[in-house]
Amino acid sequence: MTKQQELLDSNGYPIEFGCAFTPIIHTNREKACQFRLKEWDFYQISDESYTLQVTYGHVSYAGAINVCLFGYNNERYEVTLPLIFPFGSLNLPPKADTPYHLFKHTKNFKLDITHSGEGERNITFRAKSTKHGDCSIDLKLTYPKTDEGILVVTPFKNKKHFYHNYKQNCWRAEGTIVMGGKTHTFTPPKAFGLIDWGRGVLPYIHSWWWGCGSTDMDGNRLGFNIGEFGDTHFATENTLFYNGKAHKLADIAYKKMGGYNDKMVFTSTDDRFEMVFTPIYDNYTNLNLLVAHNRCHQVFGYWSGTVILDDSTIIQVKDMFAFVEFAKNRW
Question: What confidence category does residue 272 fall into, taking pLDDT thresholds of 50, 70 and 90?
Answer: very high
Radius of gyration of the chain (CA): 19
pLDDT at 309 over 90: yes
Q: What is the pTM of this model?
A: 0.97
How distant is the alpha carbon of residue 77 from its chain centre? 20
Question: What confidence category does residue 88 fall into, taking pLDDT thresholds of 50, 70 and 90?
Answer: confident
Report the amino acid identity of residue 124.
Answer: T
- The total number of structural domains in the chain stands at 1
pLDDT at 289 over 80: no
Contact indicator for 34, 61 with CB cutoff of 8 Å:
no
Report the amino acid identity of residue 90.
Answer: L
Distance from C-alpha of 209 to C-alpha of 194, rounded to nearest angstrom: 17
CATH number at residue 44: 2.40.370.10
pLDDT at 290 over 80: no
Contact indicator for 179, 132 with CB cutoff of 8 Å:
yes
Instruction: Tell me which residue range forms the domain holding 170.
Output: 5-330
The predicted model gives 248-269 an average pLDDT of 97
Beta-carbon contacts of residue 233 (< 8 Å; ≥ 6 apart): none
pLDDT at residue 292, as a whole number: 75
**Is the bond into 189 cis (omega within 30 degrees of 0)?**
yes
pLDDT at residue 294, as a whole number: 86
182-232 tens-digit pLDDT: 999 999 999 999 999 999 999 999 999 999 999 999 999 999 999 999 999
